[in-house]
Amino acid sequence: MSDSIKDNTNINFEDEFNNNKQNVADAFFTVKINNEYIQFKNTHAIGTTSIYFKDDDNKYFLKIPKLYNDYSILKREVFILNKLSKYEKHFPKLIAYTDYYIITEYIGDILSSENMPNDILNQTNDIINILKKEDIVHCDIKMKSY
């Protein structure tokens, strides 16, 4: 990807990924958010289905799917984030999206034994209850029925 600053309406992510999929994790992206150019150059994580970037100020989070975008995963995620936007805790605010990426507010590092909060079970129960209330099924959360 070019080092030049690009407005998010001009970035052709599909061409970039189809031509340079092996280099996406090493790339950086500059996106215009609220008339400010934000550079995402820190690969935060590389997951099974997506690559995640955060900006230097830990204010924004960029998610770029690398698999399954044919299944409209971004459209579904945008729908769910909009549905959960009325809850102030636990869910990131949707900032911007296109057919190729989602930008949300950055809400923290990946959980580990070093940064796990003392009330993790209460937070998890709150999240599960909200998802149930909103009739949202998260396929990574396995619930046992008793």
User: How many angstroms separate the CA atoms of 69 and 42, rounded?
Assistant: 22
Instruction: For the chain, give the mean pLDDT.
Output: 78
129 is a domain residue: no
Residue 62 has pLDDT above 60, yes or no: yes
- 92 in any annotated domain: yes
Report the number of distinct structural domains present in the chain: 1
Q: Output the pTM of the full model.
A: 0.74
Residue range 69-89: average pLDDT?
A: 87
Question: Rounded distance, CA 98 to CA 39, Å?
Answer: 17
pLDDT tens column, 7-60: 443 444 555 555 555 555 566 778 888 888 888 876 767 777 788 888 889 999
Any domain includes 134: no
DSSP letter string over 100-139? Answer: S-EEEE---PPP-TTT--TTHHHHHHHHHHHHHHTT---T
- Contact status, residue 37 vs residue 5, Cβ threshold 8 Å: yes
Instruction: Identify whether 86 is part of a domain.
Output: yes
Q: Which residue has the higher pLDDT, 98 or 68?
A: 98
CATH code assigned at 20 = 3.30.200.20
What residue numbers bound the domain in which 107 lies?
13-113
